[in-house]
Amino acid sequence: MNVNTVTDWTAGLITGLTAGMARFFGAIPNILGALILLIIGWIIAGIVGGLVTKLCRGIHVDTVADRVGVDGFLQQSGTKLRTSNIIGEVIIIEERYWCFRCRSPLLNHQDRIQMSRRQRAGRLVTASSM
């Protein structure tokens, strides 16, 4: 790590701003990559949810739900959605959640690399002290 000696407050201010800007601009590629993956995952989740809804309609899940009494319960609750639509929406929400959850570590990729280096260095120190 580069450490600059600060002799007055203007040098300290400039050094701090320079380091902050370098860190900010260094993170932009990770942020853009995560956003692109998030958008692609969001679209794929919508497509998968629509396919699951169509599949549920195709295998007559609504008919089975009507026989069991699920549709009556849904009508009493005031919703206009059918069982197949609810299953499709749950899939969309779940896929979008996991898409966001799995892509967010890309934002702190550099921190994980540095932590890994520190952990390896710690293992070397512990192994050499034995």
Is 108 in contact with 27 (CB distance < 8 Å)?
Answer: no
Condensed to tens digits (0 to 9), the pLDDT of residues 82-102 reads: 999 999 999 999 988 887 777
Number of Cβ within a 10 Å radius of residue 99? 19
pLDDT value, residue 45: 92
* Nearest CA among 99, 118, 98 for reference residue 40: 99
How far is residue 13's CA from residue 100's CA, in Å, rounded to a whole number?
Answer: 36
Q: What is the DSSP letter of 130?
A: -
Which amino acid, residue 116? S
Please, what is the average pLDDT of the chain? 80
